Structure 1
Amino acid sequence: MQIIICGAGQVGWQIARHLAGEQNDVTVVDNNADLVRQATDTLDVQGIAGHASYPDVLDRAGARDADMIIAATHSDEVNMVTCQVAHSVFAVPRKIARLRAQSYLDAIYSDLYRRDHLPIDVVISPEKEVAEAALRRLSSPSAFDTQLFMEGRVQLLGIGLTDDCPVLNTPLKQLTDLFSTLRAIVVGVRRSGQLFAPEPGDQLFAGDDIYVLAHRDDKDRVLDIFGKAVTKQDRVVILGGGNVGLMVAQQLEGPEWRVRVRMIEKDRRTAERAADVLERTIVLNGDGLKRELLDEASIGKADSILCVTDDDKTNLLAAVRAKQAGAKMAVCLVNDPSLQGLMRPLGIDAFVNPRATTVSSILRHVRHGRVRNVYSVGDAEAEVIEAQVLSTSPIAGQLIRDIDFPEGALVGAVQKGGKIVKPTGTTRIEESDIIVIFALAADVPAVERLFQVAIDFF
């Protein structure tokens, strides 16, 4: 595929890295020549310095022959105009835009994106994605990472193993025998900073971070088996009253959660806006790093603190202070992936990576075949891919043990009709089945080829 990526920031760079690594013809466009140079020096991509929405710049980037354009600059308006130019001047078949402003995302204005109005095929909202990721963390407070698949019926759980885990030093095959009715599979293990897909004979050790794909009805049992308490969130403190914090608070106020929420926001105008919008949440104006304000928010009684300001270091420091003051759990929004290694030493329970959530959303619409969902694990170290099997897919009609999966890939769940089954070597993959596969980054192209059908590109 020939793909143009507009915006060489964190998200654009990560998408370019993914797609160039899969032998796509990628061109990066950015107004900042230094960012373009960094991308071309580091990645196997071409680069154009210039305004992404200018027709002559897109022409130089190869828009006449492009299969897709991904507009991920920092400006919503530039992204929208870029898609319009790509459609009207160059007839680019597929256009994806990242939009932040809530007014552009309101459902009552969705007619705006029709092909005869503003032709954008897919709108990605980073803040909405991040808010949903934060809510998933709060719904599984013992997991440091989580994502839903198969319309919420299967959940990926990232679990950090400690010395009190009851199944340490036990081969995974033996765990399968011990818990034969458990619909869950360990698909990934990170040990000493290295992520790998485990073999049946591998054991788990204290300090490992594991990724488990589990049926939602077995989630609590999975957490218990790996030594994690299952707790309900009754009191939550949110640090940061911007769009992300506001979306999360609104959800927590709703009938599904009905959680008591207190919010701390440093900027007075932002705090007043949040107080006007929220109905049951108490909004405090002040510095969340100050112990007195945390005490005023009853941090000692909080089940969780969710730190979602736009400053990574503030989020980390506030989370540490809140844990010291008695908060049972701390979740941080962290943009810089190099800081994620500090989570465990600092006692922070879970994090949300905005870049990873946005990258996952975009990849969902880029993958070949009938891919329904994609989640980027860690710092783009692996992907969890949900896809439907077509009659002409290479794996249709085969037993799992006979399929030539790459070494770094594992099947974690299979849906047959309306039923979720735990995959084994004798499970036959059939047409219309939906499967979820964990794959290390280097093995994603090989996994994708197992679903790829020439006449069914998207």
Structure 2
Amino acid sequence: MKVIICGAGQVGWQIAKHLSGERNDVTVVDSNPVLVRRATDTLDVQGISGFASYPDILDRAGARDADMIIAATHSDEVNMVTCQVAHSVFDIRRKIARLRAQSYLDAIYSDLYRRDHLPIDVVISPEKEVAEAALQRLAAPATFDTESFMQGRAQLLGIVIEEDCPVINTPLRQLTDLFSTLRALVVGVRREESLFVPSPNDQLFPGDDVYLFTDTEDMTRTLEIFGKVQSKQERVVIIGGGNVGLGVAKALEARTDRVRVKVIEKNREIAENAADALDRTIVLHGDGLDTGLLEEAQIATADAVLAVTDDDKTNLLASVRAKGLGCPMAITLINDPTLVPLMGPLDIDAYINPRSTTVSSILRHIRHGRVRSVYSIGDAEAEVIEAQVLGTSPISGQKIKDVAFPEGTLIGAVMKGTKMIKPTGNTRIDEGDVITIFALAEDVPEVERLLQVSIDFF
């Protein structure tokens, strides 16, 4: 498939990395020649320097025979015009645009994106994606990463193995014997910065980052078995009242179980806008690094602090200060992936990577059809793919142990009809089943071949 990616920043680069690695014909367009050169030097892609909305630039990028265009520049307006030009001049079949401004995303204006108006097939909102990720982190405070699958029936959990974990130094195959009714499966382990899919004989050690699948109904029990206590979040302090912080506060206000929320925002205008938009939430104007203001927000009695300003260093320092003042849990928004290794030394419990959430959202829409969801793990190190099994798939009618899955993959969950089961080697995969697969990045193309749902299949 031929894809044009407009914008060679963090999101555009990651999407280009994913798609070029799957042997698609990818061209990257950006007005910054340095970013274009970085993409062409490090990835198997072509590059064009210029403004993505200019018809002649898109023509040079191969728009006349492109199958898809992804507009992910830093300008909403450039992304919108790019999709219009792609449709009107080049008749590109599928158009995806990243839009940030909330006015463009208001549901009452959704008619704007009809094909006879502004023809965008999929609109991605980074702020909405990040706000949803933050809410998921709050819902599972004992994890550093979490994502729902199978319409909320299954949960991917990322947890850090501590010294007091009851199952350390235990071969994973023994967990099934010890907890025979537990519908949970370890699918990935990161040890000393290396991510791998474990074998049944592997053991878990303190310091490991572990990814596991569990039936949502078994989530609390699963966390307890791995030494984690699930606590209810009743008081939350949000540092940053912009689109992300405001979105989280609105969602928490809408919950039936009342959550007390306080928002701290440094910019007076943004703070006033947040105060006007929220009903029960207290909005404080000031610096989230100010100890006095944090104490005024009663940070010591809060269950969690969520630092979501647009500055990574502010988020890190505010989280550290909040924990130093007695807050038991800190969730931090981090744009720069090189700062992630600081999470452990700084005792920050969980982080949200906007790039990862946006990339996952775009991949979910690229791999449409039988692929129902995609979630990107870490710095594009792995993917979790949820897909429905086609009758023509090589795995249909086969037992899992008889399928030649790549070494870096593992099926985490299987849903037959409305029943979710924990997969074993003897589990038979039938047409219509929904499966979730944890796959290291280099094995994703082979997984898609086995599922026969590669993007170029459609």
Distance 1:268 1:453, change over 3 A: closer
Unaligned runs of 5+ in 1: none
Letter in 2 for 1:122: V
Q: Secondary structure in 1 aligned to 2:457?
A: coil
Aligned pairs for 1:386-405 (under 5 A) are: 386-405=386-405
Give the aligned CA root-mean-square deviation in angstroms.
Answer: 1.2
- 1:167 equivalent in alignment to 2:187: no
Q: Secondary structure in 2 aligned to 1:344?
A: coil
Aligned pairs for 1:81-230 (under 5 A) are: 81-230=81-230
Deviations 1:386-442 (A, max 9, x none): 001111111111111111100000000001011111111111111111000000001
Deviations 1:288-310 (A, max 9, x none): 10110100000000100000000
Deviations 1:333-385 (A, max 9, x none): 00011111110111000000000000000111222751100000011100000
Deviations 1:212-265 (A, max 9, x none): 111100000111001011100010000000000000001111133420001100
Distance 1:249 1:191, change over 3 A: same
What's the counterpart of residue 72 of structure 1?
72
Q: Secondary structure in 2 aligned to 1:345?
A: coil
Deviations 1:127-167 (A, max 9, x none): 00000000000000000000010111111000001101011
- In structure 2, how many angstroms separate the alpha carbons of the residues matched to 1:234 and 1:454? 43
Structure 1 segments, 4+ long, off by >4 Å, are 453-456
TM-score, scaled to structure 1: 0.98
Does structure 2 retain, via aligned residues, the 8 Å contact 1:73–1:79? yes
Q: Secondary structure in 2 aligned to 1:210?
A: strand
- In structure 1, how many angstroms separate the alpha carbons of the residues matched to 2:257 and 2:271? 22
TM-score, scaled to structure 2: 0.98
Aligned pairs for 1:295-334 (under 5 A) are: 295-334=295-334
Deviations 1:163-212 (A, max 9, x none): 01011000000011111111110000000110000000000000000001
Count residues with an aligned counterpart. 458
Q: Secondary structure in 1 aligned to 2:273?
A: helix
- In structure 1, how many angstroms separate the alpha carbons of the residues matched to 2:402 and 2:2? 34
What's the counterpart of residue 376 of structure 2?
376
Letter in 2 for 1:370: R
Does structure 2 retain, via aligned residues, the 8 Å contact 1:392–1:453? no
Q: Secondary structure in 2 aligned to 1:166?
A: coil
Letter in 2 for 1:275: A
Does structure 1 retain, via aligned residues, the 8 Å contact 2:366–2:455? no
- In structure 1, how many angstroms separate the alpha carbons of the residues matched to 2:193 and 2:257? 35
Q: Secondary structure in 1 aligned to 2:405?
A: coil
- In structure 2, how many angstroms separate the alpha carbons of the residues matched to 1:35 and 1:400? 43
Per-residue deviation at 1:456?
Answer: 8.4
- In structure 2, how many angstroms separate the alpha carbons of the residues matched to 1:364 and 1:5? 16
- 1:239 equivalent in alignment to 2:249: no
Q: Secondary structure in 2 aligned to 1:309?
A: coil
Q: Secondary structure in 2 aligned to 1:80?
A: helix
Does structure 2 retain, via aligned residues, the 8 Å contact 1:367–1:448? no
Does structure 2 retain, via aligned residues, the 8 Å contact 1:37–1:47? yes
- In structure 2, how many angstroms separate the alpha carbons of the residues matched to 1:234 and 1:8? 41
Deviations 1:255-290 (A, max 9, x none): 334200011000001001101111111111001101
Aligned pairs for 1:29-48 (under 5 A) are: 29-48=29-48
Per-residue deviation at 1:115?
Answer: 1.3
Per-residue deviation at 1:457?
Answer: 3.2
Q: Secondary structure in 2 aligned to 1:328?
A: coil
Percent of residue pairs bearing the same amino acid type: 74
- In structure 1, how many angstroms separate the alpha carbons of the residues matched to 2:316 and 2:431? 47
Letter in 1 for 2:294: L
Letter in 2 for 1:142: A
Does structure 2 retain, via aligned residues, the 8 Å contact 1:368–1:452? no
- In structure 2, how many angstroms separate the alpha carbons of the residues matched to 1:102 and 1:273? 13
Does structure 1 retain, via aligned residues, the 8 Å contact 2:97–2:123? yes
What's the counterpart of residue 273 of structure 1?
273
- In structure 2, how many angstroms separate the alpha carbons of the residues matched to 1:275 and 1:412? 43
- In structure 2, how many angstroms separate the alpha carbons of the residues matched to 1:185 and 1:341? 26
Letter in 1 for 2:190: R
Letter in 2 for 1:69: I
Per-residue deviation at 1:455?
Answer: 11
- In structure 1, how many angstroms separate the alpha carbons of the residues matched to 2:352 and 2:153? 21
- In structure 2, how many angstroms separate the alpha carbons of the residues matched to 1:12 and 1:37? 13
Does structure 2 retain, via aligned residues, the 8 Å contact 1:368–1:451? no
Decide which moves more: 178-187 or 113-122. Answer: 113-122
Deviations 1:16-43 (A, max 9, x none): 1111111111100001111111111111
Q: Secondary structure in 1 aligned to 2:394?
A: coil
Distance 1:455 1:240, change over 3 A: closer
- 1:2 equivalent in alignment to 2:7: no
Deviations 1:303-330 (A, max 9, x none): 0000000000000000000001000100
Does structure 1 retain, via aligned residues, the 8 Å contact 2:416–2:433? yes
- In structure 1, how many angstroms separate the alpha carbons of the residues matched to 2:364 and 2:129? 13
